[in-house]
Amino acid sequence: MLKQAFFILQKDIAIEMSQLRMGPTAAMMAILIILIFAVVMGQETNAAGAAAILTISFVFCGIVASEHSFDSETQNGAIDALRITAGPEAIFLGKWMLIGATVLLIEIWNCAVFSVIFNFDMIDHLAAMAAFLVLFNIGFASIGTIFSAMVAQCRQKGFILTILRKA
């Protein structure tokens, strides 16, 4: 099962590297979210404000990224081929690792953008940030994988926020 999950992860990383769908969209969204907060709050913030801004940015950018995790399987019946070659546990684990890795890269990008815009020193809060990011990634990737699998079956794209709003 683990070998199949890593094959799924490799396939999805290769597809993302060739098409660049998730990364640039999430990166631009991160910049916009952080800039909006910088305009509203000014460039003065404390650790609690930084945590709130970064969490909001992580969640929305993660939703954008996780929404695209099943895009390659929705075309030309590729989901059926994936179901034949791997069990549901391997599919979940492979997509979970993809979303977790993508969200981790997004979080690193968000922290860098936040540090530059707000002139905030992340080094002072590195241990707390690392603990938060590990726990956040585990939970967010799990929920994001489940929701993106549900949305992959819908005809409309961009549906995760609608589902979450109605929940």
Per residue in 108-153, pLDDT (tens digit) is 888 888 888 888 888 888 888 889 889 999 999 999 888 888 777 7
The pTM for the full model equals 0.81
Q: How far apart are CA 118 and CA 3, in angstroms?
A: 43
74-105: b or e for each residue (b if 16 or more CB lie within 10 Å)? eeeeebeebeeebeeebbbbbbbbbbbbbbbe
Average pLDDT, the chain: 82
Determine what percent of the chain is predicted with pLDDT higher than 70: 91
